[in-house]
Amino acid sequence: MSDSLVEIYTDGACKGNPGPGGWGALLVYNGVERELWGGEAETTNNRMELTAAIRALATLNRPCQVRLITDSQYVMQGINDWMPNWKKRGWLTANKQPVKNAELWQQLDEQVNRHQVNWEWVRGHNGHAGNERADALANRGVVQARRQPIS
């Protein structure tokens, strides 16, 4: 486990829900920044929020200490409150329904298990510099997604 802390700011965006969406992540390590973004032609905001966190953590090529900052209540509640019970129930909700976006939650769980992640929530669109950068990257992903054909 690396001694140094990697800060990751993530965000997702969707124009229409569902509709063209984008995800963005800003990684900061020892003062060096790396921007990541992408998009999908037909998706949801929640899927893009999850994808941002998955892609950012997957980019780290060795186990790291991570501070992951998101403005998504969905991601925060899922990772902190819902996921342990979903896993116990075989990825079913308390009502015995399949968990929405289960494949993405499973990918996120896999990535989180590679690292030591501390999760932090910030209010979106509130002037937080890292969150604003992640939002801009997610919107760049939306622009990219709008150029993709819907499969």
According to DSSP, residue 28 is labeled E
Q: How many domains does the chain have?
A: 1
3-state SS, residue 30: coil
**Domain span including residue 29:** 6-147
% of residues, the chain, pLDDT over 90 = 91
Q: Is the confidence at residue 112, as pLDDT, over 80?
A: yes
Residue 65 lies in a domain: yes
More confident residue, 149 or 125: 125
According to DSSP, residue 99 is labeled P
Residue 49 lies in a domain: yes
Confidence of residue 2 (pLDDT cuts 50, 70, 90): very low
Q: For residue 99, what pLDDT is reported?
A: 97
Looking at the annotation, which residues are catalytic?
A: 11-12, 49, 71, 125, 135
Residue 36 belongs to domain with CATH number: 3.30.420.10
48: phi > 0 → left, psi -120 to 50 → alpha, else beta; which?
alpha
Q: For residue 125, what pLDDT is reported?
A: 85
Q: List Cβ neighbours of 126 (8 Å cut-off, separation of 6 or more).
A: none
Residue 23 lies in a domain: yes
Pick out the residues of the known binding site. Answer: 11, 49, 71, 135
- pLDDT, tens digit, for every residue of 130-139? 999 999 999 9
Residue 1 lies in a domain: no
DSSP letters along 59-79, please?
H-SS--EEEEEE--HHHHHII
Of 81, 83, 71, nearest to 26 by C-alpha is 71
Pick out the residues of the known binding site for Mg(2+). Answer: 11, 49, 71, 135
